[in-house]
Amino acid sequence: VFWVQVDVIHSTQLLVTLLISPSCYPECPPMGLETLKIDDFQLHASTTKRYGLGAHRGRLNIQAGLHEDDLYDGAWCAGRDDPLQWFEVDARRLTKFTGVITQGRSSLWSSDWVTSYKVMVSNDSHTWITLKNGSVDLIFHANREKEIPVRNIFPAPVVARYIRVNPRSWFARGSICMRVEILGCPMSDPNNYYHRRNEVITTDDLDFRHHSYKDMRHLMKVVNEMCPNITRIYNIGKSQSGLKLYAIEISDNPGEHELGEPEFRYTAGSHGNEVLGRELLLLLMQFMCLEYLSGNQRIRHLVEETRIHLLPSVNPDGYEKAFEVGSELSGWSLGRWSNDGIDIHHNFPDLNSILWEAEVKKWIPRKMFNHHVPIPEWYQSKNASVAVETRALIAWMEKMPFVLGGNLQGGELVVTFPYDKTRSQGVIREQTPTPDDHVFRWLAFSYASTHRLMTDANRRACHTDDFAKEDGTINGASWHTAAGSMNDFSYLHTNCFELSMYVGCDKFPHESELPEEWENNRESLLVFMEQVHRGIKGVVRDLQGRGIANAIISVEGIGHDIRTAADGDYWRLLNPGEYTVTVRAEGYSLTSKKCEVGYEMGATRCDFTISRTNMSRIKEIMQKFNKQPIRLPIRQLQARRSRQRRLGT
């Protein structure tokens, strides 16, 4: 039961307030200041301190640049500190407003936030009505510090086109600065141009909601029961609080590594509050199961030719913290770290420094290889600051012969590729390419170019960097240096090429936004998986046809090798071209051949048969008969032969 209050606010225009108890009406979702659905032209303010603190920066969770400047600061800040200031949103259509969420300014150097405010609404932006509690203006209590979001729900929804937030008090040693999200439901208007332009509809019948740990386990079980012949659920270990790290395998022979079939992985949620990647992988497993059952030839080919692993929640402990608070109130960092305060994505051993030091000392290839760099002993000790989740990931990465992987992150729209650490010490940003830079650039572009927004030159930058100008991709070290990243470790310690996909400006989008985010990323998720079939593949065998494990595959001109898996099969990601490929293994003769990679999808077959060296065969024979080969120093051998000649023997 509800009644309607009507206020005449300008000629024939009406302001309609639905007078309902807050517990009786559904809360509207965010209008999209954080997700950029609301564009800059819809945001206005009374005054502005400078352009970089303009109304267009007054978005919930927007982040300032490392060096705050005139273009990219972390809030809207008023030009004057007085009660006449306001921040305004034009919804461009009649909207049922139900609440406001506020933060202070994102800044390393300043402490600015609003402690209370009023809310005003209008239909024409000239005549304004202040929300009231009876005959008294409503005063909403806002922030006590600058980062934790505070949500205020209106006593009753109000229908209008424009909404203003009018700060009434602020931190005594700071200024009027705000980051804002508006909760609002657009009223039905099929003729609204802006609504038609921004609408994104998905036809996929999937479970579009946020899943708790229990819900995630249940959904994975449902997918497994729907597609038992192509899926398998397993866990790679446990989190710090004891939650199992569940993965699902999608393959025509789940549980088995098939000779010649590449293995692919997606992981998500290493930062527990970046939840979009988690939900995208849960949607992806549902989608692939349903499409496989419906006979989708593209999905069937992927499943039959690839062993796919999806690990949706690397950091379930962190996720549960963010999930408990909710999508708009978790802020920028709650749940990011593991339970013991570790950033899992950057918790891997720094193998870059070990490799680069060896290169300077010219130890490669005599004392050290340019690949499969060993983990230092100190890192493996029990006292090392290594998360249990990181140890589980490393064991998993060493066990499975992964060829290509992507870890889904949040808070930006860009794909990053190794190296993530700058080679020059003390440098924050520096282009630091791997020997496979051209391959990594193609892999990154394959995801970014098929995403609905990443390469759109007209889209607004999420925070400070406009990655659309760089085709939606960037070398990790040229963005910001990070030692011990999962991407660098994967490349240097295993055969797997790993990239990071930052899949959305909003780390924790509202449930209502998941269908659109799925549409933004669906094609990219599939296209990137298909890249595992680019380059060359084959089997290295001995003369008896047995596969040789740990044989080293070298490509001329690329200073990074890979190794064969346990059965002797290998996969080497390469761009189109002709390559001289060399295979060597301990006790076997070195063998080379030309291998050509075409432009069509599908790895070129390039098998090798290598023979034992004479010395290795002699050793094998002598060991078989329990005898040891004679090893005498050269001088002793020469002296013995000289003595034999003198004696005539």
The total number of structural domains in the chain stands at 3
Range of the domain at 552: 538-625
Q: Is residue 111 part of a domain?
A: yes
CATH code, 583? 2.60.40.1120
Does 312 lie in the same domain as 169? no
* Whether residue 47 is found in the same domain as residue 110: yes
Tell me the C-alpha distance between 542 and 534, whole Å: 26
Collapsed DSSP state (helix, strand, coil) of residue 309? strand
Show the beta-strand stretches assigned E in 429-484: 473-475
Please list the rounded mean pLDDT of every run of 10 residues in the chain (649 residues).
41 45 71 95 96 96 81 93 97 96 94 97 96 94 96 96 98 97 89 60 92 97 98 97 98 95 97 97 98 97 97 97 94 94 97 96 93 95 94 98 98 97 93 98 97 92 90 95 96 98 96 96 98 97 96 97 97 97 95 94 95 75 64 60 66
Q: Which two tokens stand for residue 408?
A: 């889904």
Residue partners of 466: CB distance under 8 A and separation at least 6: none
Of residues 612, 624, 619, the one with CA closest to residue 585: 612
Same domain? 243 vs 173: no
Residue 522 in domain? yes
pLDDT at site 2: 37
Distance CA(593)–CA(361), nearest Å, equals 31
Nearest to 434 by CA among 371, 522, 378, 526: 371
In a domain, 642, yes or no: no
Cα gap 270→345, rounded to integer Å: 6
The pLDDT score that the predictor gives to residue 189 is: 73
Last residue of a domain, one of 145, 171, 188: 188
Q: What is the CATH number of the domain that holds 336?
A: 3.40.630.10
Tokens 């270990």 appear where? 237
Give the pLDDT score at 191. 65
Q: Which position has the token pair 């809030």?
A: 75
Regarding whether 340 and 387 lie in a shared domain, the answer is yes
Say if 194 falls within a structural domain: no
Q: Are residues 96 and 153 in the same domain?
A: yes
| Contact assessment for residue 618 and residue 608, using Cβ atoms and an 8 Å cutoff | no
Q: Give me the DSSP letters along 29-81.
A: PB-STTTT-S-GGGEEES--SSGGGSGGG-BTT----SS--SS--BSEE-SS-
Integer Cα distance of 149 and 138 in angstroms: 20
Q: Rounded to an integer, what distance in angstroms lies between the CA atom of residue 63 and that of residue 331?
A: 11
Residue from 571, 583, 592, 39 nearest 258 by CA: 571
Structure tokens at 617: 């065969």
Residue with tokens 């899926």: 231
Residue 209 resides in a domain: no
131 and 91 fall within a common domain = yes
Helix (H) or strand (E) holding 302, with range, is: helix 297-305
638 is a domain residue = no
Give the strand order in the sheet containing 558-563.
558-563, 552-555, 577-584, 591-597
Residues 172 and 237 in one domain: no
pLDDT of residue 164: 98
Q: How many CB atoms lie within 10 A of CB 321?
A: 17
> 524 and 545 share a domain?
no
Predicted local distance difference test score (pLDDT) of residue 618? 72
DSSP for 583-626? EE-TTB--EEEEEEE-SSSSPEE--EE--B-HHHHHHHHHHHTT
Do the domain assignments include residue 203? no
Q: Report the CATH number that the domain containing residue 100 is assigned in CATH.
A: 2.60.120.260
User: Do residues 98 and 176 both lie within one domain?
Assistant: yes
What local confidence, expressed as pLDDT, does residue 209 receive? Answer: 96
Distance of CA 241 to the CA centre of its chain: 23
570 and 518 within one domain: no
Contacts of 123 (CB under 8 A, 6+ apart): 9, 10, 13, 14, 15, 94, 160, 161, 162
What's this model's pTM, rounded to 2 decimal places? 0.90
pLDDT confidence of residue 65: 79
Residues with Cβ within 8 Å of 143's Cβ and at least 6 positions away in sequence, in order, are 102, 103, 104, 113, 114, 115, 150
Amino acid 173: pLDDT: 95
Same domain, 152 and 255: no
CA distance 206 to 516: 12
State how far the alpha carbon of 590 is from the alpha carbons of 476, 552, 562, 563, in Å: 36, 10, 15, 14
Q: Is residue 24 assigned to a domain? A: no
Q: Are residues 514 and 546 in the same domain?
A: no
pLDDT value at residue 11: 38
Q: What local confidence, expressed as pLDDT, does residue 193 receive?
A: 58
Q: Which of residues 533, 555, 585 is at a domain's end? A: 533
